[in-house]
Amino acid sequence: MRFSTSLRELIGKRDFYAGGLMLLLGLGIALKGSTYRAGTLMHMGPGFLPTALGILLVLLGIAIAAASLTGGPDEHGGDQSILPEHPQWWAWFCILMSPVAFIFFGRYFGMAPGTFACVFIAALGDKTSSWKGTIILASVVTVFGVTLFSYFLQVPMPILTWRGEL
Amino acid sequence: MIEQALSGLWYGFGVAFEPHNILWCFVGVLVGNMVGVLPGMGPLATISILLPLTFGMKPVGAILMLGGVMYGAQYGGAICSILLNLPCHPPHAVTCLDGFPMTKQGRGGVALGLTVFASFVGASWGITEMIFLSPLLVKAALQFGPAEVCSLMLLGLLAGSTLARGSPIKGVAMTVLGLFLGSVGTDLETGSERYTFGMTELDDGIELIALALGLFGIAEFMNSVNQVAPINTKYTNVGIKDMRPTKADMKRAFFPMWRGTIVGSLCSLIPGTGPTIASFVAYATEKKISRHPEKFGTGLIEGVVCPEASTHSSVQGDFIPTMSLGIPGDAVMALLLGALMIQGIVPGPQLISQHPDIFWGLVASFWIGNIMLVLLNVPLIGIWVKMLAIPYRFLYPSAMFFVCIGVYAANNDFFQVGEVAVIGLFGYVLLRLGFHPAPILLGFVLGPRFEENFRRAMLISRGDILVFVERPISAVFVALCALLIGSQIYFRLRGAKADLEPAAENVVGGEAPTALATQRVPATPAE
Q: What's the pLDDT tens digit per position in B266-290? A: 888 777 677 888 888 888 888 888 8
Q: What integer pLDDT is reported at residue A6 of this predicted model?
A: 53
Is the CB of B65 inside 8 Å of chain A's CB atoms? no
Q: Scan residues 404-423 of B and list those with Cβ closer than 8 Å to A.
A: 404-405, 408-409, 412, 414, 417-418, 420-421
Contact between A54 and A28 (Cβ < 8 Å): yes
The minimum CA-CA distance between A65 and chain B, rounded to whole Å, is: 11
First to last CA, chain B: 32
B520 band by pLDDT with thresholds 50, 70 and 90 = very low
Mean local confidence (pLDDT), B155-184: 87
Helix A111-124 and helix A89-109: axis angle, to 10°?
170
Is the CB of B55 inside 8 Å of chain A's CB atoms? no
Size of interface A-B (CB pairs under 8 A): 194
Tell me if A126 and B417 make a contact (CB, 8 A cut-off).
no
B513 band by pLDDT with thresholds 50, 70 and 90 = very low
Per-residue model confidence as pLDDT tens digits over B368-388: 999 999 888 888 888 888 887
Distances (CA, A) of B333 to A109, B54, B275, B302: 38, 16, 12, 29
Mean local confidence (pLDDT), B129-137: 86
Per-residue model confidence as pLDDT tens digits over B34-73: 888 887 677 888 888 888 888 878 889 999 999 999 888 8
The minimum CA-CA distance between A4 and chain B, rounded to whole Å, is: 22
Q: What residue ranges do the domains of chain B occupy? A: 2-227+242-517
Mean local confidence (pLDDT), B446-451: 89
Contact between B155 and B477 (Cβ < 8 Å): yes
Quickly count helices (H) and strands (E) in chain B: 25, 2
Chain B residues with CB under 8 Å of A156 CB are 412
Q: Which of B265, B249, B266, B243 is nearest to B381 (CA)?
A: B243
Is the CB of B398 inside 8 Å of chain A's CB atoms? yes
Burial class (CB in 10 A: 0-12, 13-18, 19+), B318: buried
Is the CB of A47 inside 8 Å of chain B's CB atoms? yes
Is the CB of A125 inside 8 Å of chain B's CB atoms? yes
Interface test with A, best of B54, B223, B225 (most A CBs within 10 A): B225
**Amino acid present at B9:** L
Distances (CA, A) of B445 to B150, B211, B316, B327, B341: 14, 11, 20, 10, 9
Nearest residue of B to residue A144 by CA position?
A: B398
Mean local confidence (pLDDT), B132-148: 86
Q: Count of CB atoms within 10 A of residue B329's CB?
A: 30
Is the CB of A45 inside 8 Å of chain B's CB atoms? yes
Rg, Å, chain A Cα set: 24
Q: Give the 3-state secondary structure of B204-269.
A: CCCCHHHHHHHHHHHHHHHHHCCCCCCCCCCCCCCCHHHHCCCHHHHHHHHHHHHHHHHHHHHHHH
Is the CB of B336 inside 8 Å of chain A's CB atoms? no
Tell me if B398 and A54 make a contact (CB, 8 A cut-off).
no
Is the CB of A84 inside 8 Å of chain B's CB atoms? yes
The tens-digit pLDDT sequence of chain A (166 residues) is 444 455 555 556 788 889 999 999 999 999 998 888 888 877 888 888 999 999 999 999 999 888 877 765 455 445 566 777 778 889 999 999 999 999 999 988 889 999 999 999 999 988 888 889 899 999 999 999 998 888 887 788 888 887 755 4
Q: What residue ranges do the domains of chain A occupy? A: 7-69, 89-152
Chain A residues with CB under 8 Å of B183 CB are 49-50, 53
Q: Give the 3-state secondary structure of A74-136.
A: CCCCCCCCCCCCCCCHHHHHHHHHHHHHHHHHHHHHCHHHHHHHHHHHHHHCCCCCCHHHHHH
Q: Say if pTM beats, i.e. exceeds, 0.90.
A: no
The minimum CA-CA distance between B405 and chain A, rounded to whole Å, is: 8
The average confidence (pLDDT) of chain B is: 83
Largest CA distance in chain A: 67
Tell me if A99 and B497 make a contact (CB, 8 A cut-off).
no
Please check the confidence at residue B497 and state whether its pLDDT lies above 70.
Answer: no
Q: How many degrees, rounded to 5, is the angle at CA B505 between CA B105 and CA A9?
A: 125
**Amino acid present at A18:** A
Task: Say whether B185 sits in a helix, a strand or coil.
Answer: strand
Is the CB of A95 inside 8 Å of chain B's CB atoms? yes
Please check the confidence at residue B527 and state whether its pLDDT lies above 50.
Answer: no
Is the CB of B222 inside 8 Å of chain A's CB atoms? yes
Tell me if B434 and A127 make a contact (CB, 8 A cut-off).
no
Distances (CA, A) of B353 to B2, B126, B302: 16, 21, 41
